[in-house]
Amino acid sequence: MSARPRPFITALALAATAALAMGAAPAVSAAPVAKPVTDFPHPDLKKTYDATVKYRSEQRAIDDGFLRTDECVEDPELGGMGYHYVNPANIGSTDPRRPAAMLYEEDDKTGKRELVAVEWVVPDPNGNLPRPRLFDRGFDGPFDFAPVGPHYSLHAWIYKKNPKGVFTPYNPRVHCTPCPEDHPKA
């Protein structure tokens, strides 16, 4: 598995800095009402969906403490993760209802960010934490990037289908820049 790119670390660093330095976030318009998802590979993902569906509205995520980042994570070979909105209060959580990050992708037609996935992040500063588990699977990692330090993560693609699997870190259908095949030639 590929190491996590530096933009992710930048996103977490920006989120931590913003949590300390800023009290307000820019206003963003609400997203459309979510379509129900019913084909979860683990029953506890329904708890995640129910707890996070409100974050289809980017502004609602911001209002609830998720710090917006403007660094989009993409690997040219693996696909993208999108923009991470990190809630510092949820870092370390393995509760299905409390992921540390909401992942958004910018719609190249409207320019609005749309919720595509969620992510849990569990720090392991001493490098001796047993691999965290959720949904009957171990987290990915450990990864060791400053300023986050050693940590584990788990993604769940419950808002945008990932052909590589619900729990795969990168989604080949997520891009930070528009794909040529998304724009047919006139």
Provide the residue range defining the domain that includes 81: 6-21+36-178
Residue 30 lies in a domain: no
Residue 93 lies in a domain: yes
The average pLDDT across 32-49 equals 74
Residue bearing tokens 């528009």: 178
Residue 100 lies in a domain: yes
23 versus 128: the higher-pLDDT residue is 128
The pLDDT tens digits of the residues spanning 98-156 come to 999 999 999 988 999 999 999 999 999 988 999 999 999 999 999 887 667 899 999 99
Task: Kindly write down the DSSP assignment for every residue of 105-146, as one continuous string.
Answer: EE-TTT--EEEEEEEEEEE-TTS-PPPPEETTEEPEEEEEET
- On average, the pLDDT of the chain sits at 81
Residue 1 lies in a domain: no
Phi-psi region of 92 (alpha: psi -120 to 50; beta: other; left: phi over 0): left
Residue 54 lies in a domain: yes
Coil, strand or helix at 41: coil
What is the predicted pLDDT for the residue at 179?
A: 53
Percent of the chain with pLDDT over 70: 74
Residue 51 lies in a domain: yes
77 versus 1: the higher-pLDDT residue is 77
**Contacts for 89 with CB less than 8 Å, ≥ 6 apart:** 65
Residue 156 lies in a domain: yes
The average pLDDT across 76-89 equals 96
Percent of the chain with pLDDT over 90: 64
Residue 184 lies in a domain: no
Interatomic CA distance for residues 37 and 56, integer angstroms: 13
Q: What's the structural domain count of the chain? A: 1
